[in-house]
Amino acid sequence: MLKPQALSFDIQSSIPFAVSVPGKSWEPVGKFELLQWTGFSDDNGIDVYEADLVQISSDIYKTIWNQTLATFELEKLGSSSSCNISLITSGGVVIGNEYQNHDLISIALEED
């Protein structure tokens, strides 16, 4: 996971086409998966990003963007149910993300 230093946008379409990351020059944006901050932090003050895995009680959720509702949600692993992302502020803790901690997803799915 890298934190972009800058993004360059196409003037006509407003779509990002290049990204600058630490230790590299400008790279095509297609080489990276850009993840958005949800605007929320967990109980420990950690910023929650799209694709983060969040534990609330004994359940693990993946942070997703709901295109239809234009909002972030928490999708319970092993289930199609989702809930409001504001639950993070009442007992939620970021335990990883789907890219770096795929093992957490496997474990959560086995438990269900």
CA distance 67 to 32: 20
The residue to which tokens 């803790």 are assigned:
93
Tell me the pTM.
0.75
Model pLDDT for residues 17-27, shown as the tens digit of each residue: 899 988 878 88
Percentages helix, strand, coil for the chain (3-state, rounded to 5) are 15, 45, 40
Candidates 2.30.30.290, 3.20.20.70, 3.40.470.10, 2.60.90.10; correct CATH number of 37-111?
A: 2.30.30.290
pLDDT, residue 6, reads 87
What residue ranges do the domains of the chain occupy? 1-34, 37-111
Q: Bigger pLDDT: 104 or 14? A: 14
Model pLDDT for residues 52-94, shown as the tens digit of each residue: 999 998 889 999 999 898 999 999 988 888 888 887 877 899 9
Residue 65 DSSP SS3: strand
